[in-house]
Amino acid sequence: MAIHDHSLLPRLDASSIAVLVSGGLDSAILMGELVSSGMLVYPLYVQNGMYWERTELLFLRQFLEAVSRPTLHPLHILELPAADLYDSHWSITGCNVPNALSADESVFLPGRNVLLLSKAILWCHLHQISAVALAPLASNPFPDATPAFFEAFEAIVNQAVAGTVRILRPYANLSKVEVMRRGRHFPLERTFSCIRPVKSHHCGECNKCAERRRAFQQSGLTDATIYQSEQPCTA
């Protein structure tokens, strides 16, 4: 599983890094690249109680097994329940999820990166890991995915513990197609993108399934995903 462009991968004084993984295409490809680079990699998954998490974790474990090397540490799950925060939101209930025609903004989860990164940075600080990487892309439209947010959040959490953990975003200037092509040698069929899984498969009808289909089509890669519905929902 060769890496074709080392220039985007983090350059650290230390030989280890934590990675926030969701099982999705972008974070899985980043994980695969970092594992292939020979660094000691610590995969972190923050469990918020979202509707799709059980299926997402199944896929994530399969992907990690497929790319496993001696330098890949076991998956570590950080618990941070958010049901009391998001209440009856579709991300908790699985009802009325944004469909294939919805705009990207429709899948915005307020403060999602605040939740994910707060525990991840603190975990790294307590385990003497100097950086945590995640995989937002250049097209990410959300307010908690801007350079200003990441810089400010890194500073404030480190200030709280007198820490020095860095937030790294190697794909911040890349498009989805560019990331997909970087990851074409990885088992992408073992990644997961759906927000309303059905019988442990992608539903095929939601906003994220539609985004996944486009990513494979536009990058010219074969999509081996099993979709419960072969036709995106447009109603």
**pLDDT single digits (tens) 159-186:** 999 999 999 999 999 999 999 999 999 9
Domain assignment present for 101: no
The pLDDT > 70 percentage for the chain reads 93
Mean pLDDT over each residue of the chain, to the nearest integer: 92
Please answer whether residues 214 and 186 qualify as being in contact, where contact means their C-beta atoms are separated by less than 8 angstroms: no
Round to whole Å and give the CA distance between 118 and 79: 12
Domain assignment present for 100: no
CATH code of residue 137: 3.40.50.620
Q: What angle do CA 40, 44, 50 make, to 5 degrees?
A: 160
Round to whole Å and give the CA distance between 34 and 54: 25
Round to whole Å and give the CA distance between 54 and 71: 26
Domain assignment present for 183: yes
Burial class from Cβ neighbours inside 10 Å (0-12, 13-18, 19+) for residue 155 reads exposed
Domain assignment present for 159: yes
Residue-level pLDDT at 7: 67
Domain assignment present for 4: no
Q: Helix, strand, or coil here: 102? A: coil
Domain assignment present for 179: yes
Q: What is the mean pLDDT of residues 134-161?
A: 94
Domain assignment present for 157: yes
pLDDT at 204 over 60: yes
- The parent domain of residue 49 ranges over 11-95+111-193
Please answer whether residues 43 and 71 qualify as being in contact, where contact means their C-beta atoms are separated by less than 8 angstroms: no
Residues 18-66 have pLDDT tens digits of 999 999 999 999 999 999 998 999 999 999 999 999 999 999 999 999 9
Domain assignment present for 182: yes
Residue-level pLDDT at 5: 59
Residues 84-127 have pLDDT tens digits of 999 999 999 999 999 999 998 899 999 999 999 999 999 999 99
Number of separate domains in the chain: 1
Q: What is the mean pLDDT of residues 140-166?
A: 95
